[in-house]
A and B are shown apart, each in its own frame.
Chain A
Amino acid sequence: MFKKALLALPVAMAVGAAAQAGEWQDPNDVLQNLLQNNPDSAYLHQSEMNIMMMPDNPALWLIDEGEELFYAERGPNNVSLEGCDFGKGPGELEGAYVELPRYFEDTGKVMDFEMRLVHCMKELQGFTSDDPAVARRHGNGSDIMQLTTYIAHQSSGMAWNPPLDHPEEQAMRDAGEVLFFRRGGAMDFNCASCHGDSGKQIRASVLPEMRNGQEWTKAVSWPAHRAGHDNVRSQNHRIRGCVWQMRHAGIKADTPVNTALISFWNDAARGEPAVLPDLKR
């Protein structure tokens, strides 16, 4: 049943008029538009193979599994995640992913997507930090990545629009910007060392420029199947990898440095359509 809906939806969307900012769009259609609008972007056009594979993106296979997990009654409390509020109300997933991080009254702090998901799995379903459902963050087989892919997919094609109305949302976004440019670690790098210019390469990888919205929306569009890893990866996994390559200290999951960075980088893609899930090199 889920599968039929999954296959029907992109077709229905494709025949509709040109999608607007608020409308769901098949991730491949979003990518095709980005490619057409930016014929000179070496970043967007770097892998003909990946562009060709996009309609058969292996990340799409996690959507069904994530949907089953979302609605299954699980954990010590034997409840589904339909009570989880990602900011649009309990169980309301459409457009929720592109409006994170945000401030949540119930926890009194700004939370990014993964932090919020883990919060719900613990508080609603009763999982503990040691349960594999919560402890395993990476890889196609992890509950977290399956749930992430399903939930993020409900925002595909919608414009990044993380709220900044609450003073803590603005504060975390601004701190994230400072962190982005903060030189440090064993090699003096900041995020802008790699993402300050368009068309530059680290070895064979063409890098996205943060101030180029149409490059940056693809850059921050995780979950994405990473061809080189043969696994679907998250925004948090990207941060961990970057910080590791930058020779800063090892960053932990569910921590405010992640949240601040994601607050800034989703804001930097504001107004541009998300590719969810994406496929990357």
Chain B
Amino acid sequence: MFKKNAVAAGMAAFASVALTAGCAVADGSKGSDVDITAMSAEELAEHLIFETDSFRDQEMQEGGTWRDRMTQDELQKACSMEGDPDGETAGRVVAMARASYEAPESIELGDWRKGAELADSGYGYRQGHRTDDHSQREAGGNCYNCHVFDPRVSDQGTIGPSLQNYGANRGTSEAVLRYVHEVISNPHQYFPCTQMPRFNSDRHQLLSDEQISHIMAYLLDPESPVNNQ
């Protein structure tokens, strides 16, 4: 379209020589010795992640290496499909999630103001070209990316259900408190293969019990703006 034919032909002849010569030098651009066509797609995906130097060798905020973070646990493996899980998978995932959940002795609501800050913060656990420094700033819950709590505060996402008036509609009985704690800690107990992260499970401890109590207060406390809309 914009090409200049005058010089192109001569350059092409030169280039093919240069490319052939270049091929003899490895320089990281040579194909690997591994026959990728002999692998299943799943095997190749694992090979690409772990054997091709595709990720930065960094220590993760939660401890451990990039390999630890990228290695799947059983629940992640079970949920790596397109669409919803079949009945067998869903049952297995619920069972896994329930088996690993430890209910606290008692659950009390924390400070809804602190919960609002945590729900509306997307800071934390990002790693790579820029890395979130948890010693400088507390990691948040990221809730607002996917849930509407209170549209007066910020633009809030719709990947998960709206939580407006969540507590106003449900009250603060012991059963409701236990349920909400279970869902935030490991939502797969009720929603197998949900897109929602496990915030406090055998795999991840993204939020402490105290932080969860604040977010629960934001959701359930009658004084919280979530319940006054």
Which A residues contact B (CB, under 8 angstroms)?
2, 5-6, 9, 24, 67, 71, 77, 79-80, 82-85, 89-94, 106-109, 119, 122-124, 150, 154, 167-168, 170-172, 174-175, 177-179, 181-190, 192-194, 196-197, 199-204, 240, 243-245, 247-252, 254-258, 260
Contact = CB atoms under 8 A, between A and B. Distances in A.
B23 A179 contact: no
Contacts of B159: 193-194, 197, 200-202
A250 B197 contact: no
B2 A83 contact: no
Contacts of A9: 1
A182 B72 contact: yes
B81 A108 contact: no
B3 A174 contact: no
A105 to B, nearest CB: 9
Interface string B141-161: 010111000000011111100
Contacts of A193: 159, 195
Contacts of A255: 52-55
Contact of A175 (B20, B44, B62): B44
B175 interface: no
Given A178-B45, A258-B54, A192 B8 contact: no
B208 interface: no
Contact of A179 (B12, B19, B48, B158): B48
Interface stretch (B25-33, B100-108, B164-172): B25-33
Contacts of A168: 36-37
A175 B66 CA distance: 20
A106 B69 contact: no
Given A106-B20, A257-B52, 11 more contacts: A2-B2, A80-B11, A82-B3, A92-B3, A106-B23, A107-B31, A108-B31, A184-B71, A201-B157, A244-B129, A249-B69
A187 B32 contact: no
B229 interface: no
A9 B126 CA distance: 43
Interface residues of B, number: 76
A24 B1 CA distance: 9
A181 B15 contact: no
Task: List 7 tightest A-B contacts by C-beta distance, closest first.
Answer: A83-B15, A250-B128, A108-B31, A123-B22, A249-B66, A255-B54, A109-B31
Contact of B12 (A91, A154, A183, A185): A91
Contacts of B18: 77, 79, 83, 123-124
A64 B56 CA distance: 34
Contact of B41 (A119, A178, A192, A194): A178
Contacts of A181: 80-82
A192 B80 CA distance: 10
Contacts of B128: 240, 243-244, 249-251
A189 B15 contact: no
A93 B203 CA distance: 48
Given A255-B54, A257-B52, A202 B19 contact: no
B83 to A, nearest CB: 8
B228 interface: no
B204 interface: yes
Interface in B119-138: 125-131
Contacts of A5: 2
A124 B76 CA distance: 44
A111 to B, nearest CB: 8
B31 A186 contact: no
A190 B83 CA distance: 12
B39 interface: yes
Given A77-B18, A80-B7, A107 B197 contact: no
Contacts of A243: 128
B134 to A, nearest CB: 12
Contacts of A201: 157-159
B156 to A, nearest CB: 6
B156 A203 contact: yes
Contacts of B44: 171-172, 174-175, 178, 260
A11 to B, nearest CB: 14
Contacts of A174: 41, 44
Interface string B59-70: 011100010011
B31 A250 contact: no
17 contacts: A79-B11, A79-B18, A90-B16, A124-B22, A154-B1, A174-B44, A182-B80, A183-B72, A188-B75, A196-B82, A201-B159, A204-B155, A244-B127, A244-B130, A248-B127, A250-B55, A252-B54
